[in-house]
Amino acid sequence: MLIVKKFGGTSVADKERIYNVARRIAEEYRKGNEVVVVLSAMGKQTDVLLSMAKDINPNASKREIDMLLVTGEQVSVALMAMALDTLGVPAVSLNAFQVAMHTTSNYGNARLKRIDTERIRNELENKRVVLVTGFQGVNKYDDYTTLGRGGSDTTAVALAAALRADACEIYTDVDGVYTADPRIVPGARKLNEITYDEMLEMATQGAGVLHNRSVEMAKKYGVQLVVRSSLNNSEGTVVKEVVKMEKMLVSGVACDKNAARIAVIGLEDKPGVAFKLFNHLANHNINVDMILQSVGRDGTKDISFTVKEDDIDEVVAILERHREGSLKCQHIDVEKDVAKVSIVGVGMMSHAGVAAKMFEALYDAGININMISTSEIRVTVLINEAHVEKAMNAIHEKFLLSQA
């Protein structure tokens, strides 16, 4: 068996944890398996490096920031190789240049294009554990790039796909994927299985376990993922194409507090207004999430939408800039104290009334719904941020998610 394992920064934060991980790797290796391990930078090292950069130059170029950041993972893999050596396990550390992790050229948020597997295959043939730096790549200019936050998950999945690995295990500080965040919903239950699509919706809607780009890639290449704890030996959650039929309509409830709502009131009611508005935002790489358009007073119309709360100042600045030109409107409302709550489940494709059941739960709990958006396997509502905990528990209870 060829197994790809990924451990995050907290799993390699200090000597003791490095040895914990090393022992788990050694165990796998001693079973006779080929093992490829992807590591993140130790603990908060990426943040430390970023603040060094900020201190030198608050507007440092992304190319140089990537050059700086990639040292973090390189330290992790070298130290892990040393730890494995003391356990009698031959290992070799490789960075993005050595593997040849080809990415697109955009620094700070590159996408993996192609991975050369020759070096890794050679090292595996020589019975070595191969330790690969996560999160980083090399672009066509022979410069380092990084894959954005959470990019080590993507590195692991991409390696598993390229090597046709038998398993891809993502180790984290939780036991797996839960029906809801257990810190918010005490009755939340660990799922044994979840589909790619559900996981993708969960990840996009705020479940922090897996990076959504890595799930996308796993689905595309059919890489079976397991999300497991780095602290214990419990089974974890398997992410795959089809899961056993269960009676459950809904697999989980997710929330995302990093949301803000903007209402543009009194826009001219003529063709192209919505296009212009969202085109301005797209030109600045602002992701818009939920959108609602309604008829306003006196032949005008109103458009409301949500963006990440981090982007709100930029969004307002863009809108104000165009208010006298292509985006004439009466006023612009901003609401930051909102959060998205979503239910996700492949079951709802074949069952009517799932959304209604969610709304009923919220109504019973006395929670007002601001906006609604749906996909085939997801229903999301925008509510007041103060009601998130109550809402999630009410929905979780309504769908009886704590009972398997």
Task: Give me the residues that bind a second copy (CB under 8 A), please.
Answer: 15, 18, 49, 52-53, 55-57, 59-61, 63-65, 67-68, 70-71, 74-75, 77-79, 81-83, 85-86, 92-93, 95, 97-98, 119, 142-143
- Report the C-alpha gap between 152 and 46 in whole angstroms: 12
CB closer to a second copy, 54 vs 276: 54
- Report the C-alpha gap between 247 and 27 in whole angstroms: 37
Q: Which long-range contacts (CB under 8 A, 24 or more apart) does 68-73 make?
A: 69/41, 69/135, 69/136, 69/146, 70/95, 70/96, 70/133, 70/135, 70/136, 70/144, 70/146, 72/40, 72/41, 72/42, 72/45, 72/46, 73/39, 73/40, 73/41, 73/133, 73/134, 73/135, 73/136, 73/152
Shortest distance (Å) from residue 142 CB to a second copy = 6
Shortest distance (Å) from residue 2 CB to a second copy = 22
CB closer to a second copy, 94 vs 343: 94
- As beta bridge partners, residue 138 has 102, 144
CB closer to a second copy, 79 vs 327: 79
Shortest distance (Å) from residue 229 CB to a second copy = 23
Shortest distance (Å) from residue 72 CB to a second copy = 8
CB closer to a second copy, 71 vs 293: 71
Shortest distance (Å) from residue 148 CB to a second copy = 18
Burial pattern 238-250, b for ≥16 Cβ within 10 A else e, equals bbbeebeeeebbb
CB closer to a second copy, 69 vs 112: 69
Q: How far is CA 183 from CA 187, 339, 399, in A?
A: 10, 16, 19
Shortest distance (Å) from residue 48 CB to a second copy = 11
CB closer to a second copy, 49 vs 167: 49
